[in-house]
Structure formats: structure tokens, C-alpha cells
Chains A and B, each alone.
Chain A
Amino acid sequence: MTLLFEIKDLTGGYSGTNVVFDVSAKIDRGGILGVFGRNGVGKSTLARLANGGLPPSGGQILLDGDRIEELPAFMRRELGIGFMPQESLVFDNLSVRENLYIGTIGESPGLYFDRFPVLARRLDQIAGAMSGGERKILSFVRSMIEDTRLVILDEPSEGVQSENINLMATCLKERAAKGAGIMIFEQNLGFLASVADHFLGLDAGRAVYSEPSSNSSETEIRAILAL
């Protein structure tokens, strides 16, 4: 497998206060990196540093070998980095259809409508009328159908019914099998373990664990989460 995305000694945070320190990680084409850690250890900050929503204060980000850490989010999206945020994750005032088609699309959403029929039923309703779990599904599907080579997802399963979490896992594995890289930030360890081929553990803004899934022990991961 070939290297797609790399972060090197990434440091950053909000207006001068760093929250993430010297984090490094690699994602191959077709690889799924699962990032775990307790609440408030810097997962969302790292996700936004990777997507470009926050500028880093140090370190490098490389996509296919090109340095991109100085680029704003919309340029990283043009280069093929998709993002599903944890909060404010859909456009509430736009219809479900407009939410799906606002970016450039790589594949038709037909398959996803079969899996998540709630989207097909509500295409012309505004996204703000949906429940929290349904908004997660809408944002998730939007990030899946975009023409991206790397998808960053911040807590996609939070508040989603378990059968739909299983479908999300299927979608992620298929997307990776087609050559995309996936970076997924999760609290749901079962979901993370079902998709990730590499684990990255964060604590107090630093990477404290980095192992391929074949070499990971659940007790070690649980120990980090319970620190």
C-alpha cells in the first residue's frame, strides 16, 4: 500500500493556546486510522488541524507528498480532503438534497439511499428538521459521496442507532477498499475496532499509543481511555 496522508509533529490549538502537541500519524491509500481518547484530550482539535479548519502552529501535513499545512480548508477540500465535523455538521437551513450536492460529488448517492432510506424520504425537507442521529447520517453520507481521497470523520457514530452504525462501518470499509484513506475519531470503541486497521491514542494532546490493529490489545486501549 502507498502512503496517502501524513502528519508530522503537528502542534496547534485555538488563538495561541496549543491543545495538540507533536502528533505524528500516517494513512495509506485504503487505510483506516482510528483515533481514540477521552473527552477533551484534543481529538476534535486534531481533526480540525488535519482538515484545515484550524491553522497549525507547528509541524507538517502532507497529502501525496505535498505540504498542505498552510492551506485553508476549502483548498484542502479541492485537493481531496473531505470532512465530517462533530458539531454543526449539516446546513440546517438547506434541504437534505442541497446538503448532499453542495460539494462536488464523486459517486451517485443511490447505494446510500438504499442503506439509509430516511435520506431518500426526506430529500426535499430542510436538514434542521431532522433528529441528531439523522443529521449524523446526512453528514456522513455527504462525506462519503464527495470526490475525495481522504475522509476525516469526527465522532460519526455519536447518537446513531446501532444498526445504522453497522451500516456506517460497511460504507467506510467499502470506501477504503476503493482506495480512499480514512481518519476516524471515535469514542465508540466497538465501532472503531470494527473498521480501523491502525489505532492512534491521544491523551492530554499527545499521541500516547500507535499500533496496527493486528498488534493492538483491548486492555491497553481501555487503560488509556480510563486514565
Chain B
Amino acid sequence: MSFALILNLVWHVGTLALIALGLAIVFGKLRILNMAHGEFVMIGAYSPVITSSMGLPGWLQLPVCLLTVGLVALAVERTVVCRLYGRMFDSLLATWGISILLREAVELIFGRGYQSVSLPIPGTVQIFGTSYPAYRIAIIGCIALGFAILAWWNSRSMVATRIKAMVENPGLAQAVGINTGRLSAWAFVFGCCTAGLAGLALAPTIRVEPMMGLDYLIKSFFALVVGGLGTLEGLGLGAGIIAGTQSLVGAALNQTYGYLAVLSLSILFLWLKPDGIHSALR
């Protein structure tokens, strides 16, 4: 196995883990089946398109991405999702509608065609005798750092506990001083922003178009099914297995077989181990 293949694997696992992290918060913690999660990846991927169409400098891509995704997510949460906590099936239908709305809105503004995004960091670097795109190395580093900070923060802060408490018993959560409206809105926006950041990271390496989100939604649901909900370890495992299977089988045979392998694996897990490998659900 060449070293470039391993780096590709790490790239796919890392970006999928970032998308699945948001879904793990919104679906795993808030119990909202967010069918529009992939659309936040898509909106994030359009942020370089936004900055270049407005003639803004490249370094503004990150703030524009967070601002756009964050504001759309906040609007979605405050108008629709905030009424749907504790109603998981209704949340599926409503967010499915929102996903269509967001796709159509982006299509209306930017058209249906593919957008190409140029690499912010061009060139390659040499690692163990293999040359690999410098941009992907930088993003892998950022994602690893981000997850390390998140794991450290998660072990020290009560926020995850408070979210769990709020979802289980909103009345008691209010009575112990939790501002449930604000906490759920922030958790939802945070979850959508991780998807948007992954979209921004992926944008130069894929074809950016309004329909691109669906694939990421499905893969991140599969990652959660396989890895299990509620722990960062399970999230990493799930993303690793799903992205790993797809890129290894895809490299050995072709992308169609890679996708087939992921589907078969997820069906097996849903059938035989529906809680996933590393679930914290009790």
C-alpha cells in the first residue's frame, strides 16, 4: 500500500468525521433527524464561490463560511426546528422540506452548474518519499487539532451533560437554570457549522453543486450507525470504517463497488448491531 493511499484515507476519514460530528450533536444529542445536514456542507462549500463573486480576498472564506452557515442554521432552528424537539419523525419531514428549499435557493442564486474552487494552498509536499497536496495536509492537521481541542473541552465542560439533561427532561432542565431555548439553538448552529466547515475544506477537491449534500448526509448517517451515538470514540470509529471501506474498496475495484460495500456494511450493522460499536446510549 502506498503512503499516498494512507494519506487519502486519513483525508476522507477526517472530513467525514467533521461532518458526522455535527450530525452526532443534532441527531445524537438533540434528537433532530436533520435531513438538511448535507445542505449545510453544500452551503459551506459555496462560501469560496460567494467570496470570489463578491471580489473579497481569499482569507475571508472562513469567516464568510461560518457567518453564512451559522445564520442559515439559526434561522432554521428559530423558525422550524425549535418547535420539533421531542418529535423525531416530524423533524425528519420538516428538515427534508428545508433541504429542498436550501438546494433550490442556492440553485436560484448560483445556477445548477458545477462551480470550481481554486486551491488556497497550491503545490505538494514530500512526506516519506511521497508527494502529497499541501492543502490536504494542512486541512488534516486542522481537523486533528480541532478534534483534540473538542475532546479536551468536552472532558472539562458540563455542556454535553446539560444538553443531555435538556433533551431528556426540558421542564426540570429549566428548573435547574438551563436556558433551554438558547442551549438548543447554539447546539444546532454548532452542529451545522461543523458541516459547513467540512464543506469549505472539501470545496477545492470536489465539484461544488447544489445537489452535492445528499451523499454526505447519507455517509455521515452510516458513520453514526456503525460507530454508535454519544461518544467521540464511536464517531471516529464509524467515520474511519465508512470512509475507509469506501476509499479502500474504491481504490482496489472502483467507486461503485466502494459505495456498495459501504451500503452492505451499514445494512449489516443496522441488522446485527443497531446501537453501533461504541454507543453511550443507555
CB < 8 Å neighbour of B176 from A77, A88, A93, A126: A77
In the complex, what distance in Å separates the CA atom of A142 from the CA atom of B173?
13
Interface segment, B95-103, B148-156, B157-165? B157-165
In the complex, what distance in Å separates the CA atom of A83 from the CA atom of B174?
10
| B162 / chain A contacts, CB cutoff of 8 Å | 102
B231 within 8 A of A: no
| B176 / chain A contacts, CB cutoff of 8 Å | 77, 102-103, 142, 146
- Contact indicator A93/B282 (Cβ below 8 Å): yes
CB < 8 Å neighbour of A88 from B161, B172, B178, B179: B172
| A53 / chain B contacts, CB cutoff of 8 Å | 171, 174-175
- Contact indicator A51/B175 (Cβ below 8 Å): yes
B169 within 8 A of A: yes
- Contact indicator B175/A91 (Cβ below 8 Å): no
In the complex, what distance in Å separates the CA atom of A88 from the CA atom of B172?
8
CB nearest neighbor in A for B280: A93
B129 within 8 A of A: no
| B173 / chain A contacts, CB cutoff of 8 Å | 74, 91
Given contacts A74-B180, A102-B176, contact A91 B164 (CB under 8 A): yes
B107 within 8 A of A: no
CB < 8 Å neighbour of A83 from B164, B175, B180, B282: B175
CB < 8 Å neighbour of A85 from B161, B164, B172, B180: B172
In the complex, what distance in Å separates the CA atom of A98 from the CA atom of B175?
15
In the complex, what distance in Å separates the CA atom of A184 from the CA atom of B161?
29
CB nearest neighbor in B for A78: B177
| A146 / chain B contacts, CB cutoff of 8 Å | 176
SS class, residues of chain B in contact with chain A: helix
| A88 / chain B contacts, CB cutoff of 8 Å | 169, 171-172
- Contact indicator A91/B172 (Cβ below 8 Å): yes
In the complex, what distance in Å separates the CA atom of A223 from the CA atom of B88?
48
Give the interface residue-count category, chain A. Answer: 20 to 34
| Cβ of A106 to closest chain B Cβ, rounded Å | 12
Q: Name the interface residues of A68-106: CB closer than 8 Å to any CB of B.
A: 72-74, 77-78, 82-83, 85, 88-94, 98, 101-104
In the complex, what distance in Å separates the CA atom of A89 from the CA atom of B177?
14
Given contacts A91-B164, A93-B282, contact A103 B169 (CB under 8 A): no
Interface residues of B (CB under 8 A from A): 158, 161-162, 164-165, 168-169, 171-180, 282
Since A77-B174, A93-B164, A103-B176 are in contact, a sample of 15 more A-B pairs with Cβ atoms closer than 8 Å, ordered by chain A residue number, is A51-B175, A52-B174, A53-B174, A73-B171, A77-B176, A82-B175, A85-B175, A89-B172, A92-B168, A92-B169, A93-B165, A98-B165, A102-B162, A102-B176, A102-B178
Can you list 13 A-B pairs, Cβ within 8 angstroms, ordered by A? A52-B174, A53-B175, A72-B174, A74-B173, A85-B175, A88-B169, A89-B172, A91-B165, A91-B169, A93-B282, A101-B158, A126-B282, A128-B282
Which A-B residue pairs are the 5 nearest by beta carbons?
A: A77-B177, A73-B174, A103-B176, A83-B175, A74-B174
